[in-house]
Structure 1
Amino acid sequence: MKDFNQLIQAYFGQLSNEDLEIVQSYFYEEKLQKNDFFTSSGKICDRLSIIKSGIFRIYAYSDGKEITQWISTENQLLTEIMGFFYQQPNRWTIQALTDTTIMTISKSNYLELCESFPKWNTIEKQFIVKCFAMLEDRVYSHLSMTAEERYDQYYRQNKELFNQVPLQYIASVLGMSAETISRIRKRKSENS
């Protein structure tokens, strides 16, 4: 894991050492075992975390099928946005795929941080803009790239996951069936 302060700055913008100490004081370390749930659909997520180590899967059920929305790894943020920010029941379930260590801020501490640290409102805005930018990138890739191009891009960015996570989860993240991802992999192995 990167240094906690570097991660805070990467997600929330440049802060002074004094400001970083204030923000860091609201986070605590937490460990989840493989298969533990960070949060579940229908509940309201009450925490936001940064992953120090381990892998999480964000998924939901639709028409009797599991849909993996994202696989989160070291140095990434973890929360269910609608639950955490809007107090609405979660759409997504977040489950540890491995033993994990996370740095967490509870919803109550988050609200306290907003009250006691006025700069946080500006920082939070920067964070939300980054979330939207990531979402736009993902939508753009699904609309403008072929399945094989999406596979190639995801593989370049997340090579290590292909040996740690079941392929059907990766296929779901990429918006394709397990059969499609298998065909792509077979075609690539034949051409190399």
Structure 2
Amino acid sequence: MTEKLKVFCKQIGGLSDEDLALVDVYFKPVKLRKKAFLWRSGEVCSLIGFVSQGAIRHFFYKEGEEKTCGISLENMFFTDYNSF
């Protein structure tokens, strides 16, 4: 499941096979269902993720309304930099 990340890293960074093997050590594949949360308001983000399929919408609540502040598409890394 980490193959897409390995391909991406090899294309962008020209990493060796030895370096790419570390992807399996440090990245844990997670499948999310539509409308699932990785973390919620008030929680500290403790991950850096990679979108291998689909997209992730980043949003916050302001005055009771959802405000989209970003979208991560396939082959993009993501995190909550302010929280991380």
Query: What is the TM-score with the length of structure 1 in the denominator?
Result: 0.37
Output the aligned Cα RMSD.
2.1
Residues 1:7 and 2:8 are matched in the alignment: yes
How many residues are paired up?
81
How far apart, in 2, do the equivalents of 1:41 and 1:29 lie? Answer: 23
* Shift in Å, 1:28: 1.9
Which structure has more relative contact order (CA 8 Å, sep 6+)? It is: 2
The letter for the 1-side match of 2:16 is S
* Shift in Å, 1:50: 0.8
How far apart, in 1, do the equivalents of 2:4 and 2:55 lie? Answer: 18
How far apart, in 2, do the equivalents of 1:28 and 1:41 lie? Answer: 23
Q: Which has the larger radius of gyration?
A: 1
Gaps of 5+ in 2: none
Q: State the match for 2:35 in structure 1.
A: 35
Shift in CA distance, 28/69, structure 1 to aligned 2, threshold 3 Å: same
Q: Taking every aligned residue pair, what percent have the same amino acid on both sides?
A: 35
Alignment of 1:13-162 (within 5 A): 13-84=13-84
Higher helix share: 1
Higher strand share: 2
The letter for the 2-side match of 1:52 is S
How far apart, in 2, do the equivalents of 1:54 and 1:39 lie? Answer: 18
Gaps of 5+ in 1: 85-192
